[in-house]
Amino acid sequence: MPRPPAPLAALLVALALVAAGCGSDDDSETTGEGAAKQSKPAATAPAPAPAPKEAVTGECQKVKAPKPRPGAKASKPKTTLDAAKTTTAVVTTSCGEFTIALDVSQAPTTASSFASLARKGFYDGLTFHRIVAGFVIQGGDPQGDGEGGPGNKGVEAPPSTITYPLGTVAMAKAPTEAPGTSGSQFFVVTAENASSPPFSLTSDYALVGKVTKGLEVVQRIGALPADSQTEKPDTPVVIRKVKIQEG
């Protein structure tokens, strides 16, 4: 679906991030190129990817790309996370582990939706399907091509003053969708500040939170070679599990 736009030089290649939505009950989703892409999601929670037996390449394990899961669906959350508690998402990947502090205060709907998908196992076995060096890494698409999502979308427009510095996690969306639209696709900023030139990311992407631990893992993923046209990494990066912890 949508994705955050790349720098001017990369715009001709990426046209923005595609996002996976999380809100309405529609089974179909529009697609776009901005921060993440998304179409139809799946009905049952996917099984976690098996631990690969292949050799480790550098600091990332060499793994096989998982099969696409077109039609994957997940219901919308029925409750909202408690803002009085600290909620984190521990993301285990084939390149290591990083932790996201969910911003329940500023983004209760989006953070709760992300946590709900994680608890259902929706993200387990998916990939980071898009890497734009020095800008963002993007994942959470069951189809693996930027066109998939959970079968519903949410809308929570971020503050107009929001910026996207290094380590920010937000939801991808199509350029034609309303600000704050989200599904399942998310991106992590690897630029010092994606709101500043040459990126100048606008305040259209729903906030999830910020990486508080393991930023080096995010940067490791962001440094992997990717196809200049599709922005798909040459080496698959699998999300083994996203575990939600409350404290």
Count of structural domains, the chain: 1
State how far the Cα of 30 lies from the Cα of 106, in Å rounded to an integer.
26
State how far the Cα of 113 lies from the Cα of 92, in Å rounded to an integer.
19
Between the CA of residue 131 and those of 45, 109, 127, 191, what are the distances in Å?
Answer: 25, 26, 11, 12
Q: Whole-structure pTM over 0.85, yes or no? A: no
Question: What's the CATH code of the domain at 190?
Answer: 2.40.100.10
Residue 111 makes CB contacts below 8 A (sequence gap 6+) with: 81, 87, 102, 103, 104, 207, 208, 209
State how far the Cα of 120 lies from the Cα of 40, in Å rounded to an integer.
17
Residue 220 makes CB contacts below 8 A (sequence gap 6+) with: 59, 60, 95, 96
The domain containing residue 21 runs over which residues? Answer: 2-246
Nearest to 3 by CA among 167, 179, 189, 173: 173
| H-assigned helices in 35-176 | 108-119
Q: Report pLDDT for 59.
A: 87
Q: Are 21 and 152 in contact (CB under 8 A)?
A: yes
DSSP annotation of 134 reads T
Q: Are 242 and 126 in contact (CB under 8 A)?
A: no
Summarize pLDDT for 44-93 with one digit per residue, the tens: 233 334 444 344 445 899 999 999 999 899 999 989 999 999 999 999 99
Q: Which stretches in the chain have pLDDT values below 70?
A: 1-58
Between the CA of residue 139 and those of 54, 55, 117, 235, what are the distances in Å?
Answer: 22, 23, 13, 14
